[in-house]
Structure formats: C-alpha cells, structure tokens
Amino acid sequence: MKLFTIGPTQMYETTIKVRSKQIPYFRTKDFSEMVLKTNSMLKRYINTSNNSEIIWLTASGTGGMEATIINCFNKNDKLLVIVGGNFGARFAEICKIHDIPYDILSISYGNKLTEDDFTNYYGNGYTGVIVNLHETSTGQLYDINLIKNFCKRENAYLIVDAIGTFLCDEFKMDENGIDVAIVSSQKGLCVSPGISLIFLNNKIIKNKILTNNVKSLYFDFKNYINNIHRGQTPYTPAVGIVYEIYDMLNFIENNGGISKHLEIIKKRAQYFRDLLKKNNLTYPSYPLSNALTPVIIKKPLAKEIFKELKDNFDLIVNPVGGENADYVFRVAHIGNLNFYDYNLLIEKIKNIIGMR
C-alpha cells in the first residue's frame, strides 16, 4: 500500500518505529521535557518568537479551528472569512454557530485570490481575518502578502489555518503578521491524525484570549496556557502522537533541517507536475501549495481512477468532495514518497484512462 493522500500520509519508517513501542505514562518529568523540546523546535520551524505559546489539543483540525475562533473572538468582533473551498466554508459555519459577526470574501472555483478581491472590504471595521492559507480542498495557496497587507491596513488580527501548508511550504508566522496558526498532526508532520497544534503570539494571548469568556471547558485555551510551561496539558492528550511529533521533528533536523525538507517536497511537486504535462494531464493554473497537486480529468472518471488504483495496485490517491468529485483527485507530495512512486502512479493512471 502506498498513500498519496494528504493525511494520513505515507508514514516515514522512523514514525512506524516510534509507534512500535509501548506508549509511556505521561504525567512525568520525561514527558514534560519532551513536550518543551518539541515546542521549541516547532516555534523555530514556524518562524515565531519563543514568547508565542502552543496549544496541544487532542482533536481533529476542525476542533482546532473551532477552538481558535471561540478563544480569539466573540460577538463584539467582526471577521472577514476568506472562502475558496470546503475548509473556508467551515470557518464561516463556525462563526455562524457562535454568533460572531462575519463577512465572506468568496473566491469562485478555479479563480486566483488577487488584490482586487479585497476592494469592497476596506474600512468595514474587521477585527480579524480568517484564512485557510492552503485551501486543501482545491490546492490553492493564497498569497500571504495580500492578506498580510490587508490586515495591517485594517488593523485586524490574522488567523491562519496552516494545516495544509506548515512543513509543506515555507511559513513565516511572525514576519507575515500571523497572530494564530493552526496545525494538524496528520498533514505536514506526516504522523497519525488526532492532535491539533495552535500557535498563538503574545499579542493575541494578552489582548484577546486571556480576557475572553469561552463557553467551553475542553476548548478553553487558558487551561492549556496555564499547563504548557510545565510541558503538560490539562487533559490526557493523545500521548502516542506527541511522541510521533517529537520524533518527526528530530528526523527533519537530522536530515538537513527545515529548508532541506521543504526543498525535497518542492522538487517532488515539480517532478509530478512535469510528469502530468508530459502525459497531457492537467492541473489548476492558480498558485498551488507544494503539499499536493489536484489532477483534472476531462472525462468524469476521477472516482473510478481512485477505485481502480486502490483495488488493483494498492495506490491511494485523495478524492475530492462536492461537484468536482468526478473530475478531480489530489496527489500528495508530503510523506515518505519518491520520484519512482510518481512514475508508477502516472503509468497506472494513464492505463486506466486509456482503457476507457
């Protein structure tokens, strides 16, 4: 079996090795020290100050997204949510449920986010902008500069869902004025799903989070902030996944560091996209994250290709939902994959299409 999916991903051997061991008890000094070391590496990789805090939340990415919104904002705020796919729409849904006023900046499918898209939104008094920087359902990687400039001019907090881009593309949290970044264990970190990490800078902790009245026990970041300096969480975390994350960061560190890691993923993405072109297959023209490539099929065969690749060759690509489900599937460039894997995948895809 080979996973070209974007979470779970094809795991590295080192992760399998960590997973093959008994999970230790976690209310110990050893565990605390590991968490603190992990935090320090994570902050370095996401390019944020040591004063930022990381919330370790045992939950899917959606849990991390919801927890972030209700900790940072309330009904006195006004948010601009950038919606260019399923995950942007999910943020809007969260704001609606929690009675947090919001507007939607909508990007039609296939279109690129440009400066013009912001024209109608200046001077509206937004206190925050919410964006899935890599809208994983379409593959588009938005231009962070556009969003950063808008936030600066409007004096709005910038909340970035970095789930599909951290450890996939370069990510500079502080330099880009990002106040909160949301990460999930199963994407760029390439380990098991189950933990969301929320990076908070000092400004938003002080000005918004510590004074906000959160109507949740499990999602209240204040409880987590109070425990993280001793390397602990208020509730039993997904302990096994904490070990996997620590190990993965060390793996990256010992194999040339973050820039080398990002370079490898970029090369894979480029290699695969070149292969697509050579084989008359198409991918979107808007800017893409290196995490994945959406493959566009002219005939409505995407679901069949997924099924045949899986059933006949044990190769798993990532389907899409919604109206493009028959015409698009996605291929990941994160995880333990190499050029040979892509050669094989393209060959099989061509065979399947050729037989139709």
Q: Residue 228 interacts with its own copies (CB under 8 A)?
A: no
Q: Out of 66, 77, 161, 169, which residue is the one contacting its own copies (CB under 8 A)?
A: 66
User: Contact at 8 Å (CB) between 141 and 288?
Assistant: yes
- Interface pick for its own copies out of 218, 251, 271, 313 (rule CB under 8 A): 218
Closest residue by Cα to residue 49 from 58, 40, 57: 40
**Contact predicate 5/336, CB 8 Å:** no
* Nearest 10 degrees: Cα torsion 292, 319, 19, 230: 70
Interface stretch with its own copies, choices 8-16, 112-120, 291-299, 322-330 (CB under 8 A): 8-16
Q: Which x/- pattern, by CB under 8 A, does the window 30-49 give for its own copies?
A: --------------------
Binding residues for its own copies restricted to 93-132, rule: CB under 8 A: 93-94, 97-98
Helix axes of 257-278 and 239-254: crossing angle, nearest 10 degrees = 90
User: In the complex with its own copies, which residue's Cβ is closer, 97 or 344?
Assistant: 97
Pairing of strands 318-319, 328-332: antiparallel
**Binding residue (CB under 8 A) for its own copies from 152, 206, 310, 350:** 310
- The CB-of-56 to its own copies minimum distance in angstroms stands at 11
In order of 53, 107, 218, 240, 288, the CA distances from 112 in angstroms are 33, 7, 37, 39, 10
Told to check if 89 binds its own copies by CB under 8 A, we report no
Site for its own copies in 238-297 (CB under 8 A): 238-241
Structure tokens at 314: 């044990």
Among 4, 2, 1, smallest CA distance to 330 is for 4
**273 token code pair:** 């996209």
* Residue 26 touches its own copies, criterion: CB under 8 A: yes
State the Cα–Cα distance between residues 329 and 309, nearest whole angstrom: 12
Contact stretch for its own copies (CB under 8 A) within 108-116, 123-131, 193-201, 288-296 = 193-201
**215 lies in the binding site for its own copies (CB under 8 A):** yes
Interatomic CA distance for residues 182 and 221, integer angstroms:
13
Q: Choose the binding region for its own copies from 87-95, 132-140, 197-205, 295-303 (rule: CB under 8 A).
A: 87-95
* Cβ atoms of residues 94 and 63 within 8 Å: no
Which one of 165, 192, 289, 293 is in contact with its own copies (CB under 8 A)? 192
Say how many residues touch its own copies, by CB under 8 A. Answer: 53
Whether residue 173 contacts residue 203, with contact meaning beta carbons closer than 8 Å, is answered with no
Q: Interface with its own copies includes 28 (CB under 8 A)?
A: yes
> Minimum Å distance from CB 69 to its own copies?
9
Q: Quick one: the chain helix, strand, coil %, rounded to 5?
A: 45, 15, 40
When the beta carbons of 96 and 152 are compared against its own copies, the nearer one is 96
For 108, list phi and psi in degrees, rounded to 5.
-65, 150
Is residue 5 a contact residue for its own copies (CB under 8 A)? Answer: yes
Give dist(CA 85, CA 89) in Å, integer: 6
Residue 252, Cβ neighbours under 10 Å: how many?
21
- Among 76, 116, 123, 217, contact with its own copies (rule: CB under 8 A): 217
Q: Shortest gap between Cβ of 11 and its own copies (angstroms)?
A: 5
* 264, two tokens: 């490898």
Q: For residue 10, state whether it binds its own copies (rule: CB under 8 A).
A: yes
Shortest distance in whole angstroms from residue 209 CB to its own copies: 16
Position 338 contacts its own copies (CB under 8 A): no
Assigned token pair, 292: 């994945």
Which C-beta is closer to its own copies: that of 48 or that of 232? 232
The site for its own copies (CB under 8 A) is made up of 1, 3, 5, 7-8, 10-11, 16, 19-28, 58-63, 66-67, 90, 93-94, 97-98, 184, 186, 192-195, 215-218, 234-241, 310, 316, 318-319
